[in-house]
Amino acid sequence: MAVADIHSFHTIQSVSEGIYKEKGSKFLGFAYPVSNESEIKSRLEGLRKKYFDASHHCYAWMLGADKKRFRAFDDGEPSHSAGTPILGQIKSKNLTNVFVVVVRYFGGTKLGVGGLTQAYKAAAEAALANAKIIEVEITSMFILNYDYTSSADVMQLVKDFDLVIENQEYDVLAKLKVSVKLKHKENFLKKLKLLNAIGVKVAYEEEWEN
């Protein structure tokens, strides 16, 4: 699916936790909603400080509506026995903008690669099972500048396309900063062009993220 065809994505609403125990080892699962790698780093540092005496802090994350940015980390466990099954749980629930960490306390009995894989999978699954999954609409931001005589037409745009007014300023011209759902963007732009064509002057520009 092309990025332009993606209008929304699923993530978790808030922090959630889960636990799995196997042969004396404890696996504490933590799931976080995140939007960038800086948040991920901060969350991981917090867990490492709080559970400083744990054997391992293994994790996986996925970012972006297109799910093209992700990472799995084993933190000293056998290759692909920890991070990969954690990432697998994120993928299986079709989530993104999610960071899942499993903190392990070693119980004295080795579990083997198969046992570890199952344990990390179960702990990640437990953490995500306790999370509320939400759908997030992807939006674009626009700046609208217009004469006060066009206010009624602009307010009708807000209503028709379910625009969210992020900011408004009133000077010589009125200025609105609005977000429009990606699924409405094409028709929204068509309507703006139509309004300008019939004499309702609304200057507009898309605001891109830095």
Task: Record the tokens describing residue 44, joined without a space.
Answer: 């991981």
Supply the CATH number for residue 49's domain.
3.30.230.30
Tokens of 66: 């297109």
**Residue 165 — φ and ψ, nearest 5°?**
-80, 115
**pLDDT for the residue 7:** 87
Residue 9 is which amino acid?
Answer: F
Predicted TM-score (pTM) of the model is 0.79
Instruction: Tell me the per-residue pLDDT of 188-209, one tens digit each, with 9 for 90 and over.
Output: 999 999 998 988 888 888 877 5
For position 193, which CATH number holds?
A: 3.30.70.260
The range of the structural domain enclosing residue 90 comes to 3-135
Write out pLDDT tens, residues 86-114.
Answer: 999 999 999 999 999 999 999 888 899 99
Q: Give me the pLDDT at residue 2, please.
A: 46
Q: Which of 120, 135, 150 is the last residue of a domain?
A: 135
Query: Is 137 in a helix, a strand, or coil?
Result: strand
123, 80: one domain: yes
Whether 125 and 69 share a structural domain: yes
Pick from 109, 135, 161: which residue ends a domain?
135
> What's residue 205's pLDDT?
87
Helices (H), the chain: 37-50, 83-92, 112-129, 151-160, 182-197
94 and 20, same domain (yes or no): yes
Are 100 and 169 found together in one domain?
Answer: no
User: pLDDT digits over 142-171, tens only?
Assistant: 999 999 989 999 999 999 999 999 999 988
Return the CA Rg of the chain.
Answer: 23
- On whether the CB atoms of residues 8 and 136 are closer than 8 A, the answer is yes
Q: Among residues of the chain, what percentage have pLDDT more than 70?
A: 96
Query: Do residues 17 and 113 both lie within one domain?
Result: yes
Q: Given this model, what pLDDT does residue 4 score?
A: 54
Domain boundary residue, one of 135, 170, 191: 135
